[in-house]
Chain A
Amino acid sequence: MARAVRRAATALRRGEGGLTLIELMIAATLGLVVIGAAMTVFIGVIRSEPRTTSKVTAIQQARVTVDRITRELRQGLDTPITSPSELAIITYVKAATCGGAGASSSIVCRVTYSCSAGVCTRRVSQPDDSVSGPAVQVASGLASSSVFSYLPDEEEPTYVGVNLALGTGGAPVTLGDGVALRNSDEGGAG
């Protein structure tokens, strides 16, 4: 009986063949390489996260801004100010009063977009620009203040292009769109 137990223990010990020094060194080296690579990536991600988040937020904000500008242009009646960095649109705005709180129905107001020093602001006023709401920043981190382009010309455009170039370092990310003015006399509705 005792011999049988001893034999079994010996067999068990042989089954735990374990690691040779070479195996251990190779495994450790490989593990270090993998962990090192993962750590490098992780540290890179952690370091760039604020910048990435900021850029994503700026892109998202710019996307919303482009969407809003194109919507207001699409239902625009007139464009009293047209320059590459500034655009004023007489358009329908869902508000009770121009520059006031939002509402479910639309009224005609004047919306002015001004872009300079890397930011764009939006201001809503009466159609004659008499009473104005505050200028609200709607885009930031712009590489260029030249945002608006006009067809056939700046005087009486029927089509307005909007291009927001984001990012001050490296290649900027550009969000672009353009619409025909549905309600303008020149562009024709519908």
Chain B
Amino acid sequence: MCSSPQNRNAVLASACSLFGAARRRLASEGGFAVPTVLLMTVAALGMAGVAVTTSIQGQSGTVRDQGGKAALGVAESGVSQALLHYNRGVAPCVPATAGGWCGPVTGMSVNGGAVSYWARTLDSAEECGVANEVQCVEIVSLGTVNGVSRRVDVMASTLPTEESPTLGPFATAGVLSYEDMTLDSNAVIHTGTATNGNLSLNSNAKQCGQASVGIGKELKTSPNAQYHSNSTCTAPSSEVLQQELTLPLVDQTDAATNNDNHRLFAEDQISGNKGDACWNGKKGDGKATSACGARELRIDNKSAVTLGGKIYSFCKLTLRSNSALYIESGVNTTIYFDSPENCLQSSGVYQLDLQSNSRITSASGDPVTIAMLFVGSQTRQTRILLNSNTEVDGPCEQNFIIYAPLSDVTLNSNSKFCGAIAGKKIHLDSNAEIWSAKGSGSFNVGGVDLPDTPAHYTPYRFVECSPAPASTPNDGC
């Protein structure tokens, strides 16, 4: 319209002039428009900035609180990890000097935080701060989460002696296995059992006595198998405990060198054909043989040997073909089976091998106590086999113990064991039976030094420390 020459009258010319000026002004972005908008933008940003800053400041305390709580939780997890070591009977670290601090030990990371802890054993009751004969430990743990640190100091003690009588590993059950326990084909256990793994009852097998399985594990029962809460198999049950089982390792001290092995075959004589028993590379008649190696006792063909000593150290014990090992009446005998490393045995060795109607029992029929303690190995498999109608303590009036926390135990083909038995894995098959002289329930053994279960430490003093680590771990606590 404005560009048309015929429309250029006075009124239109004026309007077109204004319109053109405005359009040019807009196109040129001149004047106050841009500064005004900029000013508004800056003002708006300023106000928003103030609001954001105030909000951040307000929340900083909350963030710090959350960090503090998370770090405290991580620090407490370090204490728990250290106590777990102590309660398994193994210190988490070794101090340079007795009674001194050890660490820092880097703990397992929890919730993305880092944890390290120091520990020491407190010797005297005065230092311990708790009366009675107890053992005490002190643990200082430092937890850090997102740069926020918290440090805690915890003292823990075992229960006072009068409240915590020394109970052997068989205090609550007669058959223990560190890993799975399996019963097949009519096998029966007539006492309480405890395992860290699953307990499987297959093919008419029976567990008669309270059963306990590992945390998160279960009792697996096939249709024909039975579980009873009593040793006489008359009280069907489905109640199974779940708890951690600790089997302390065997400490044979100086038994390998200080023992009664010299009695074989002098005082501990052979009945039957002397050529059918061999010990330490020699037969009973004095002839050298390769049938048995160093610290190996082998008895064959209806022969028998009677042990009258208290401590023996064997590498291997083999009984075959109606042979027997008798324990002299009134003697508490302990046979240590040394580690396969010390015995130069390869992995998979049978350190106790009973086959074909052989048996270990009392010489006179009177009750005796015998413990067979197997040192075993963490790296080489050791095995125990009772097979083909073998018996350990047939009349079942005795305290017979097989304690082998690192060895796999198998009872097979009508074998029978009476007493308490502990192994890494336990497998019963083909009519094998285990009885306990006291039935289910506690099985305390007199006259035999079984490894004590580790003392259980319970925290009794919890103190928060200043977060910064000090020269001595418990400074500032």
Residue ranges of A at the interface with B (Cβ–Cβ < 8 Å): 17, 19-20, 23-24, 26-27, 30-31, 34, 37-38, 41, 45, 56, 59-60, 63, 67, 71, 74-75, 92, 104-106, 182-183, 188-190
Contact with A along B251-281 (1 / 0, CB 8 A): 0000000000000000000000000000000
The interface residues of chain B lying within 8 Å CB-to-CB of A60 are 61
* Interface residue B460 (Cβ < 8 Å from any Cβ of A): yes
- A104 touching B30 by the CB < 8 A rule? no
Residue ranges of B at the interface with A (Cβ–Cβ < 8 Å): 21, 24-25, 28, 30-33, 36, 39-40, 43, 46-47, 50, 58, 61, 65, 68, 76, 79-80, 83, 154, 156, 458-464, 466, 475-477
Main secondary structure of the interface of A (DSSP, over half): helix
Taking A27-B33, A67-B65, A104-B466 as known contacts, 20 extra A-B pairs with beta carbons closer than 8 A to each other, sorted by chain A number, are: A17-B24, A19-B32, A26-B32, A27-B31, A30-B36, A59-B61, A63-B65, A71-B464, A75-B464, A92-B463, A104-B475, A105-B476, A105-B477, A106-B463, A183-B460, A183-B462, A188-B458, A189-B156, A189-B460, A189-B461
Instruction: Determine which of A26, A27, A30, A189 lies in contact with B154 in the assembled complex, contact meaning CB atoms within 8 Å.
Output: A189
Instruction: Determine which of A24, A38, A71 lies in contact with B47 in the assembled complex, contact meaning CB atoms within 8 Å.
Output: A38
Q: Which residue of A lies closest to B476 (CB)?
A: A104
8 A-B pairs with C-beta separation under 8 A? A17-B28, A19-B31, A23-B33, A27-B31, A45-B50, A71-B464, A182-B459, A190-B76
Instruction: Determine which of A23, A34, A106 lies in contact with B43 in the assembled complex, contact meaning CB atoms within 8 Å.
Output: A34
Instruction: Determine which of A37, A45, A56, A190 lies in contact with B462 in the assembled complex, contact meaning CB atoms within 8 Å.
Output: A190
The interface residues of chain A lying within 8 Å CB-to-CB of B61 are 59-60, 63
The interface residues of chain A lying within 8 Å CB-to-CB of B464 are 71, 74-75
CA distance A188 to B154 in the complex (A): 13
- A75 touching B458 by the CB < 8 A rule? no
- B461 touching A183 by the CB < 8 A rule? yes
- B30 touching A17 by the CB < 8 A rule? yes
- A24 touching B154 by the CB < 8 A rule? no
The interface residues of chain A lying within 8 Å CB-to-CB of B466 are 104
The interface residues of chain B lying within 8 Å CB-to-CB of A63 are 61, 65
The interface residues of chain B lying within 8 Å CB-to-CB of A67 are 65, 68
Task: Give chain A nearest CB distance to B160 CB in angstroms.
Answer: 14
With A63-B65, A105-B477, A190-B458 as given contacts, are A38 and B43 in contact (CB-CB < 8 Å)?
Answer: yes
The interface residues of chain A lying within 8 Å CB-to-CB of B33 are 23, 27
